[in-house]
Amino acid sequence: MDFSLSADHKEFQEWIRGFASRDLDPGISEADRNCRFDKKILARMGELGILGHCLPEKYNGGGLDYISLGLASEELEYTDTAYREILSVHIALFCLPLLSWGTDELKNSYLPKCAAGEKIGCFGLTEPDAGSDVVGIQSHARREGGHYILNGQKMWISLADVADYFIVFAWTDLEKKKARDHSGMSAFLLERCDPGISTGSIHGKLGVRAGNTGWVSMDDVKIPADRLVGNEGEGFKIAMFGIDQGRYTVAAGSAGLIRACLDSSVKYAKERHTFKVPTGRHQLVKQMIAGMVESYEITRLLYLKAGWMKNEGLRCTLETSIAKRFACEAAEKSASNAVQIHGAYGFSDEYPVERHFRNCKAAQIYEGAREIHTIIQADYALGLREDKPLRRNLPPWPFER
């Protein structure tokens, strides 16, 4: 058993860390305070190859492995959740499902532009009245000759107002919709320029204020039939496949948030004096810091295991569920304790722990609420759930040339 990172992984991790420190960290406090998403960051990440680092080289990607995706997610969230969300949505939720389920024509047409950062993709599943209850979505599509006509609305979509491409999910069999049979759901690739698409941003969020979150409306959007992703009726499977990839990046990102809280707390506990000694000398403060250390190490091992399984071409729905739920719970506790250690200063935006505390709550909701993950893991243990073979799988690494 080898738990060490390769030399290439270490080099990549340091490179991403340097990018985040140099290009992202200086402006994050102001961006969060002003609830502003900076589109220039997307251009910079595209220019550096970050937006396609773990996609095959034949699609203009960097050819790196899935562990690298986890490492990048950790380093970006160390600065702020908004920056990790870019990878979660663009790579994990858009590019990887397209890579695995798209036709050669779709992959050749869309992935090179996404890998280069020339175009940005997002994932439209959640609706105003449907989140964890995926079969509760109301969007629908009908076939007319060589086209599909889509109608519906998506809500709480990260990058909705800046994305160029959208993978969206809609019912194509209304009888199955009535029966809540998810085999009547299909996936489609839309472009912002398609007539009938409109988007907007959501304001007033508790956290992730430097990120773009919004809605997507489809009003008789007519697209060619060859922009169906997978086959008709495979939409639910593709949605769950994509969410598996997203959960992995959320878990890895949470490791970064925990580490950020730990580093800030250790620094503050050494500098701040209470009762004539550094705060870090107090036993209960040590207890909170020790908890962050443990949480980081466990979270890191859980996401690295899932990344290794992805590299090997192994199904890891359970493992990503465990990693995601544990990581998000640990991040919330670590952020709360970090605010406590900072005292009154932790209640202000003078220190980053206040921002991390607000940000971490979202991760307990998206990519499957923590309650959903509790049920998933119990069902595996009770034999009520098992992984059935998929028609398409995530390509193992190294990628075929």
**What whole-number distance in Å separates Cα of residue 9 and Cα of residue 307?**
12
Task: Note whether 368 and 132 are within 8 A (CB).
Answer: yes
**What whole-number distance in Å separates Cα of residue 342 and Cα of residue 349?**
11
Residue ranges in 126-196 assigned as alpha helix (H)? 174-178
CA 19 to chain CA centroid, Å, is 19
| Catalytic-role residue among 367, 371, 386, 400 | 367
The dihedral formed by the CA atoms of 153, 157, 162 and 165, expressed in degrees to the nearest 10: -70
Question: Which residues does residue 158 pair with via DSSP β-bridges, in sequence order?
Answer: 213
User: Which CA distances in Å does 292 have to 80, 209, 247, 353?
Assistant: 18, 24, 21, 13
**What whole-number distance in Å separates Cα of residue 5 and Cα of residue 12?**
10
Q: Give the position of tokens 């609420």.
A: 369
**What whole-number distance in Å separates Cα of residue 228 and Cα of residue 194?**
15
Which phi and psi angles does 151 have, rounded to 5°? -140, 145
Which phi and psi angles does 168 have, rounded to 5°? -125, 160
Sequence-distant (6+) residues with CB within 8 A of 168 are 124, 125, 139, 150, 152, 154, 187, 188, 190, 216, 218
Q: Give the position of tokens 């080099």.
A: 11
**What whole-number distance in Å separates Cα of residue 139 and Cα of residue 168?**
9
Q: What angle do CA 264, 265, 268 make, to 5 degrees?
A: 85
Residue 367 annotated in active site: yes
Quick one: DSSP state of residue 145? T
**What whole-number distance in Å separates Cα of residue 317 and Cα of residue 355?**
30
Q: What angle do CA 243, 199, 44 make, to 5 degrees?
A: 70
Residue numbers annotated as active site: 367
